[in-house]
A and B are shown apart, each in its own frame.
Chain A
Amino acid sequence: MPGIAIQTQKLTRKFGNLTAVDGIDLQVEAGQFFGFLGPNGAGKSTTIKMLTGLLAPTSGSMQLLGLDFAAHGVDVKRQIGVVPEGMGLLERLTGAEYLQFVGRMCGLDRATTQHRSNELLDFMQLADPPKSMIVDYSHGMQKKLALAAAVIHGPRILFLDEPFEGVDALAAGALKALLARMTERGTTIFLTSHVLEIVERLCSHVAIIHKGRLVAQGSLEELRAGISGEAGNKTTLEQIFLSIVGQDGAARPQLEELSWLM
């Protein structure tokens, strides 16, 4: 049985009176491609920030690869890669310089860093123009670079916050193949995305967060089993998502109120 890559107990984060994440208990097994879904403002990014050390939990605990984050933060960070919300790039470096910086910060030696940087830049089609600063990259290029930086040290867990947003179809295809290969080799991938088709195609397991609470967690088959679809048709993730999150009637758009648009 594979080990547990990510585990949280009663993980909670409050901002003043607002509880963004409300006591969630997550469990992600090693090697899973895990999709973390939720409507806007549900608490996805807050959770990912806590799991990657960018935000301290108000209460609760979390273990990554069996290590308690609070006690072994640096050791945990050595084994994870992150594409955070906003990407967190040092924009006045070139792509190559940024990868070398991250590689060295993660403890790779100079030659390995240089070699991997070149390979990643070629793979992501970022090698040209070599002297452009990140600030001059397009959004999609920045996204690819952030992903390259997240994997340069060969992490065992990869956290991706909206990784395909702004990436063209060709590059997205190559990235998806890369991620699939990583999971085959045992890397755990924790991904948030608003594009449910991507999650459905890539992820074997899914959790849904709504208003800070975890409302569903399991494999796609387990979630489908809990939802009654139309006879003969396989229930899509979108249907699962809407049936769980859209139960709140207030969240449904009242199209008849915008009749002047139609």
Chain B
Amino acid sequence: MADVTRLPGVLEQIRLVAGLRWRLLRNSMRRKNSRLDLLGLILVGSLGGIFVLGVSFAFYFGSYGFLSTGRPAWLSLLFWGVFVFWQVFPIFVAGFGANFEFRVLLRFPLSQAAFYIVGLAYGLADFSSIAALCWLLSLAAGAISAKPQVFPAMLLVVSLFLVLNVALERLIGSWLERLLSRRLTREIFLGLFVLSMVSLNFVNPLLARYRALLRPIVFQLIPYFSWLPPSLAGRALVGALDSQLGAFLLGSSGLLLYAIVLNVLLWRRFAAQFQGEELSESAAPARVAARTALTAADDSDHLSALSPQVAAVVRKEFRYLTRNGFAFLSLLLPPLLVLIFSAQFAGMHTTSSGRSFSVSPDTFFPAMSAYLILILMAPSYNCFAYEGRGIQTYFMAPVRFREIFLGKNLMLVFVLMVEIGLSLAMLAWRVGLPSLPICVATLVGIVFAIASQLTIANWSSLNFPRKLEFGQMRGQRQSGMAALTTLGTQLVLGSISGVILFSGRWTGNPWVPTEAFVLFAAAAVAGYFASLDPLSKLAEKKRESLIEVLCK
């Protein structure tokens, strides 16, 4: 029989969980062995603190101003601000990563009630909750400073608003956890999320074009928003200030109803978890399909021109690309961005101010190419990021690292060619083709930029590796030094390319940039191939740090 004679009370359990979270935070800071990372953490923390403090002042003076100038109905806007941040920010922070940490508590002898309360308390310790709580208190303090008689009503409204927000935030988190517990779903959602973020760029041009059409629809929707919690909170406070008991009761009972419904839903979700709901990374076992026999088509080798080792790496890279939902969907971005930029800058539409301006294809094409290289080359500076423990396969195989780099780089060059081809087609459709000298100079310049960067990117991948997880955003960042190397290299190469391109204008000979780029590209390509053997030796020297970092 176990020696436990008395379970700790709920308060004691909350204290233990708070202590656990604090230790986790402290230990995670201890593990940051890089000063740059620690500096970044301090910088982000300070900026976060300043942000919360600044917005708190804004909420204080906002609510004070609204009440002291006789505009209490505007308080709803402030409640909306708190509400939206509290509920939306955690979704961004979650970054579509699996998050099972809270449910780990289930291994301990907690009652369901204690699990529920600890779960709510756990949610209150998030940055978004702390920030939103600060703003809510500032809002209340401002309102009470302006109209002290609102204190009792404010206390009730803020309390109900707090309870329903905590419950809703945990509920959304719990639903998301359930939804995203499967890897495939998570990766698809992450891709859609990124695409939707990019699509926001279309909002301005679309609004400019369809403003008149959208306005009545928005006005029709506004009354429905008045039944949502922030509007109800504002309505209750206006009722209290204007001594309209009906409005106050309607607003506060609406909040109470929301709080009850959300807490019941949350209780049901937590109950499912408490009863052992299994959230697995992988799909349920599917019916076994018969394995297809090797066919003639399977046997054909489209990469027969390459050595077997290089071809194997190219195939593996292609498979990894198609299985990394985020990376694969991000390939849609470049043509999409060309579409966005051409809509915004290329004179294909009139801006909201009625002014029309355009950028010539001779400027647009080199700029677009530079931008594509900037975003598509960046991952190659940490090209082993997704190998994980598989990096050992490379070191165990009887190959030199030049084959592995060649395979990886070939795949990247292929992707770049496809992307640049697609973007060029998009450009031709939206803006028109550049002049022949600029087109040729840019294409040769692309060869120069890619070959130069590949050499440095391979070196950076060996020196500054960082493991990244498939289909996750949270905590997925490159090493600080790799990011600096990327930035520095691209700045230098961009400047050189810019000067070469402008040399055509300065000299009056439009073919001078092409001639210069041919020389530079030849040197870069020669340098690339010359670097492969030294990089193979470097890989042998760096194998321990690579394996250590990537096998964590």
| Chain A residues engaging chain B, CB cutoff 8 angstroms | 52-56, 73-78, 82, 84, 86-93, 97, 100-102, 104-111, 114-115, 118, 127-133, 135-136, 149, 260
Contact = CB atoms under 8 A, between A and B. Distances in A.
Contacts of A89: 389-390, 393
19 contacts: A54-B547, A55-B544, A56-B543, A56-B544, A75-B398, A87-B389, A88-B392, A90-B320, A92-B470, A97-B315, A97-B316, A97-B319, A104-B309, A104-B312, A114-B298, A114-B299, A115-B294, A128-B291, A136-B282
B396 A127 contact: no
For B289, B396, B398, which residue has the most chain A Cβ atoms within 10 angstroms?
B396
A228 to B, nearest CB: 42
Interface in B517-552: 540-541, 543-544, 547, 551
Nearest to A15: B544
B396 A84 contact: yes
A152 to B, nearest CB: 11
Contact of A52 (B285, B311, B324, B396): B396
A242 to B, nearest CB: 32
Contacts of A114: 294, 298-299
A124 to B, nearest CB: 14
A53 B540 CA distance: 9
A131 B311 contact: no
A91 B392 contact: no
B32 interface: no
Contacts of A107: 308-309, 398
Given A90-B387, A101-B315, 5 more contacts: A54-B392, A54-B543, A56-B540, A106-B397, A118-B291
B133 to A, nearest CB: 39
A74 B400 contact: yes
B89 interface: no
Given A84-B392, A118-B294, A104 B308 contact: yes
A90 B393 contact: yes
Contacts of B311: 104
A86 B324 contact: no
B396 A109 contact: no
B386 interface: yes
B238 to A, nearest CB: 55
B398 A88 contact: no
Nearest to B396: A82
Contacts of B292: 130
B544 A90 contact: no
A82 B389 CA distance: 14
Interface of B: 3, 183, 281-283, 285-286, 288-289, 291-292, 294, 298-299, 301, 308-309, 311-313, 315-316, 319-320, 323-324, 386-393, 395-400, 470, 540-541, 543-544, 547, 551
A74 B281 CA distance: 38
A56 B388 CA distance: 20
A127 B392 CA distance: 24
B312 A105 contact: yes
Nearest to A89: B390
A162 to B, nearest CB: 15
Nearest to B404: A105
A103 B288 CA distance: 26
A54 B396 contact: yes
B92 to A, nearest CB: 26
A128 B288 contact: yes
A163 to B, nearest CB: 15
Contacts of B392: 54, 84, 86, 88
A108 B388 CA distance: 25
B544 A130 contact: no
B550 to A, nearest CB: 10
A102 B397 contact: yes
Contacts of B289: 129-131
A128 B285 CA distance: 11
Contact of A129 (B286, B316, B541): B286
A127 B290 CA distance: 9
Nearest to B312: A104
B393 A74 contact: no
Nearest to A73: B540
For A86, A101, A102, which residue has the most chain B Cβ atoms within 10 angstroms?
A101
B546 to A, nearest CB: 10
B182 to A, nearest CB: 10
Contacts of A149: 393
A101 B398 contact: no
A130 B292 CA distance: 9
A129 B288 contact: yes
A25 B273 CA distance: 55
Given A86-B389, A129-B286, A260 B398 contact: no
Contacts of A132: 282
A102 B393 contact: yes
Contacts of A75: 398
B535 to A, nearest CB: 16
Contacts of B309: 104-105, 107
B464 to A, nearest CB: 20
Given A87-B389, A92-B470, A135-B183, A74 B399 contact: yes
A109 B308 contact: yes
A44 to B, nearest CB: 17
A127 B291 contact: yes
A105 B283 contact: no
A88 B298 contact: no
Contacts of A135: 183, 281-282
Nearest to A90: B390
A74 B316 contact: no
Contact of A77 (B3, B390, B396, B541): B396
A92 B323 contact: yes
Given A88-B389, A88-B393, A92-B323, A77 B398 contact: yes
Contacts of A127: 291
A118 B295 CA distance: 13
Contacts of A110: 299, 301, 308
